[in-house]
Structure 1
Amino acid sequence: MAWLVSLGVFLVLCVLLGVLLPNPPPARWRRGLQRGAAWLPERLIGRLIGRLRPATPPEPDPFDTLRLQTRLGTVSTKIRSIESTPHIYARAHRLMALEAAYDDLLDEACRLAGCPDPPDTKRSEAKRWEEEQALAARGWSW
């Protein structure tokens, strides 16, 4: 609101200077003032429209989607290889770490695909299955 008052004071001072000065300002100044006067309303209108109209979310980048699908495929392949190998050092620890990474990737994929978030946030096989099915229904494959 203070900027509006200062703009009004500035315009009043400009009018007073125009009345008090006997000679008109040079042509160079007039052109600059005309450009500034034309620019100001456009700028104000642009700001008003930007505030009144909600911003639309940007479209997801298809390459981000492709990278995420590739990472999901890589992590799921590693999980399958660890599950199929019976004698591996720190198998449970590796499996838990890979499953946590896979769950995080699934969450990110669901966010990108616009899937509704399940109500409970606890990680489980059922939630993982629901997210995989929701992504598959939207055309995702990995």
Structure 2
Amino acid sequence: MIRHTMRALCAATLVIAPIALTATPAHAVSCTVNGRPVSGGTVQGTDSADYIQCGAVALNEHVNGLGGADYIVINGVVSGTVDGGAGGDYITAGAGTSATGSILGNIGNDFLRVGPNAGTVDGGAGSDFCRVSSGNPPTPPCEF
């Protein structure tokens, strides 16, 4: 009897484990927005000022501050897109970007600070200050 129960438990484990592994979305950037954990293919702030902190932003993932003067901190490589949205935003990505990554200030007077850059850093419309530690320079007219 014990042997049959053990076989049933082992069989159930083999069936349930793959289901649990496939429940995570293929693209899910993990961030905190104003102190709340948020994840998904696109993470958005609000129309007001936000504090957004994320790990890496993979290809096809997006972080969008929307409106307001947003403070966005990326603590990993950016292969996707980080967009401050409208408003004077502060965006920092110390780990830099990959060849396909984009860090965009958008409309407003923005401050963008990026580590090694192999992607695109663009302040957008407004009087922007952009700093990259090495690699591709920011898109003009961004002051640096």
TM-score range, shorter chain: under 0.3
Structure number with greater Rg is 1
The structure whose residues are more often helix, as a share, is 1
The structure whose residues are more often strand, as a share, is 2
